[in-house]
Structure 1
Amino acid sequence: MNDLTLGPQPAPPRSHRHSAPAGQDGLYSTFSREEWSQLGKDRISLSPEELEALRSTAEPASPTDIEEIFGPLCRLIRLHVEASHSLSARIAGSLLRKAAAPKPYIIGIAGSVAVGKSTFARLLQALLARHSNAWRVDLVATDGFLFPTATLEARGLMKRKGFPESYDLRGMVRFLSEMKAGASELEIPVYSHEAYDVVPGSFQKIRQPDILIFEGLNVLQTARDARSTASDFFDFSVYLDAEPSDIARWYKDRFLLLQRSVFQRPTSYFHHYKDLSPKEAARVAAEIWQSINLPNLTRNILPTRDRARVILHKDAAHRIVEVRLRQGP
């Protein structure tokens, strides 16, 4: 198996979506899907049944995606993980004169609502877990760190749910800090998308994984008034990118799908939308996108894109067509 080639590559002309801030030209190497698929890759696969179980109806994925996108990406991550472990062992042995304590390798996954983060994170978890070293890979979504609905309502933040201020950022940073410190077991709240709230008394237990995938909207964001932010604890990061107009359409399509399914349940927070006509549902989805999700994307999420190690850009059909790889350490 050939090593992943990361040398200089001919980059296609940049569109407005990839305009780099001043002084950052050349920070990324840009690959077309075809160029990326030809790089060294881990030969891993999922059965049709496994792929169907992991993907979302609104976020398609195919065996071709596994081979052409995830194969090289898993190879790249594996090289980074092995290099990190080797460096930690050498520092502990040569400098500190002690054995290296096991610490999880943390991968952050960022991007807009409806861009496909959840499906991407589940697929990456399943594929990395199939590595020959039998890595234990856990997945944590930042939804569990959202403040409960009662708290958001009391603070007038329900219409800013998903914005940084709607999360328990201190709890998030504390979890990641303790995870990196080698805590034997940690608990995080479980979030229900149906109830649109944190589930009281329900927790996800995390027990010293080899790799932790941490997925959420604002995980790459920095904060002026905080000593630490979530991204301080990441060893690797991925940003899922797409044109806002495409994401808006995906959000509308997903809303219409949920309105015909999950919203019909009396236990759904959005049950009051159950009798909307398709036209009315599309209007509501557009209003939510314009008033909440688009402002959050443009003000808080998109500005963090160029902090990611890898940027994966999707076309209008949800297909990853371009990969940008950040150079340097």
Structure 2
Amino acid sequence: MEDLMNYYVFSKDEWKKFYIENDLPIDQLDLKKIKAFNDKISLQDVSDIYIPLIHLINLQNKNFDQWQDTKSRFLKKPERKVPFIIGISGSVAVGKSTTARLLEELLDYYLPDKKIQLITTDGFLFSNKELRQRNLSDRKGFPESYDMAKLITFLNNVKSGMPNAMAPVYSHQVYDIIPNRFDIIDRPDILIVEGINTLQLPSNEQIYISDFTDFSIYVDADTDLIESWYLERFGKLMETAFQDPSNYYYRYAVGDRAEAFDMAKLVWKKIDLPNLEENILPTKSRADMIMHKVKHHRVDKLYLRKY
């Protein structure tokens, strides 16, 4: 990351010293729920990486709220609650969902007076039917496979304080949008938005997702390592979720295992890797924080934007 000159660089040992508690309340959290996000997550990482990050976000959120109040008074406008939006990006299989859900859990604990909500941008993918009509079935996850206009409208509604903003729901079970199912985002204090496209700048849009985010995180790792995590996750899903006959990948779970892995490797090579290299990785330097991972999903370095 030699090109990231606009960032402070901290090792894990340096970072953990920025916020130290003698008695971390980790035992009061639902550890089983946290571990369910990824059985390799280290409780030491929760203590050393995520607890200081939560307190940094809290400081930034306080400054954000104070600025909203100051601006309202200056403009002689009624005060209104403006949600603080955290964007989380990175490759498939790098652990974005783990990071997002862990932040949600910890923010709930440390900021009990705040309403915390979480969505993923998967819900704003076009349906499989629409992708077929647009001849984009093999481009799922690429920028053009998202209904960006709908996503931008949703974020604008949330940011403007509209109650009960509706986010479509995507199912990884059926690999498609669920008709008439929505997550309701109702005037949160903090909204976490997780997805591979949260830092992207689609060429056909004048407003971007990042225009609405107040703090952004890019979860990073070497490409070869991400591929190994992708295939490892696929293998575990073959033995669990894919065994459900209603699952999109059921036919692979009950078929020849070698052929299934050949398919997964082809998907990585033809879809996920090009999307990472062309559309996701180039957005890394737009993040406020880059969280770099090594083997076993351990965070070894953090890059925090200087300005």
TM over 0.5: yes
Match of 2:81 in 1: 102
CA distance in 1, matches of 2:253, 2:206: 44
Q: Is 1:125 equivalent to 2:104 in the alignment?
A: yes
CA distance in 1, matches of 2:39, 2:133: 34
Aligned equivalent of 1:82, options 33, 52, 62? 62
CA distance in 2, matches of 1:97, 1:62: 49
CA distance in 2, matches of 1:69, 1:48: 18
Match of 2:161 in 1: 182
Aligned equivalent of 2:206, options 227, 231, 253? 227
Code of the aligned partner of 1:79: L
CA-CA distance at 1:51 after TM superposition: 2.8
CA distance in 1, matches of 2:202, 2:146: 13
CA distance in 1, matches of 2:221, 2:39: 13
Q: Is 1:170 equivalent to 2:153 in the alignment?
A: no
RMSD of equivalent CA atoms: 1.7
Give the 3 Å change call, closer, same or farther, for CA 40–145 of structure 1 in structure 2: same
Equivalences, count: 306
Say whether the 8 Å CA contact 1:256–1:281 is kept in structure 2: no
* Cα displacement string for residues 252-287 of structure 1 (whole angstroms, at most 9, x for unaligned residues): 011111112222211111122123444333322211
Match of 2:228 in 1: 249
CA distance in 1, matches of 2:279, 2:20: 33
CA distance in 2, matches of 1:202, 1:152: 19
Give the 3 Å change call, closer, same or farther, for CA 132–150 of structure 1 in structure 2: closer
CA distance in 2, matches of 1:37, 1:263: 38
Aligned equivalent of 2:92, options 113, 119, 122? 113
Match of 1:50 in 2: 30
Match of 2:294 in 1: 315
Aligned equivalent of 1:263, options 242, 252, 259? 242
Match of 2:271 in 1: 292
CA-CA distance at 1:293 after TM superposition: 0.4
CA-CA distance at 1:185 after TM superposition: 1.4
Give the 3 Å change call, closer, same or farther, for CA 57–207 of structure 1 in structure 2: closer
Match of 1:8 in 2: none
CA distance in 1, matches of 2:174, 2:50: 33
Task: Name the structure where helix makes up a greater proportion of residues.
Answer: 2
Give the 3 Å change call, closer, same or farther, for CA 261–101 of structure 1 in structure 2: same
Q: Is 1:19 equivalent to 2:34 in the alignment?
A: no
Code of the aligned partner of 1:303: P
The percent of aligned pairs where both chains have the same amino acid is 40
Q: Is 1:145 equivalent to 2:124 in the alignment?
A: yes
Give the 3 Å change call, closer, same or farther, for CA 321–48 of structure 1 in structure 2: farther
Comparing 297-306 with 33-42, greater Cα deviation is found at: 33-42
CA-CA distance at 1:321 after TM superposition: 0.5
Code of the aligned partner of 1:75: H
Code of the aligned partner of 1:267: S
CA-CA distance at 1:44 after TM superposition: 5.5
* Runs of at least 4 residues off by over 6 Å: none
Code of the aligned partner of 2:293: K
Match of 1:64 in 2: 44
Can you give the 5+ residue segments of structure 1 that lack an aligned partner in the other structure? 1-17
SS in structure 1 of the partner of residue 184 of structure 2: strand
Give the 3 Å change call, closer, same or farther, for CA 285–58 of structure 1 in structure 2: farther
Say whether the 8 Å CA contact 1:45–1:66 is kept in structure 2: no
With the length of structure 2 as denominator, give the TM-score of the two structures: 0.95
* Cα displacement string for residues 204-253 of structure 1 (whole angstroms, at most 9, x for unaligned residues): 11100000000000110012321101111000000000000000000001
CA distance in 1, matches of 2:127, 2:263: 24
CA distance in 2, matches of 1:315, 1:157: 33
SS in structure 2 of the partner of residue 317 of structure 1: helix
SS in structure 2 of the partner of residue 54 of structure 1: helix
Give the 3 Å change call, closer, same or farther, for CA 229–137 of structure 1 in structure 2: same
Can you give the 5+ residue segments of structure 2 that lack an aligned partner in the other structure? none
Aligned equivalent of 1:195, options 174, 177, 193? 174
CA distance in 1, matches of 2:39, 2:96: 9
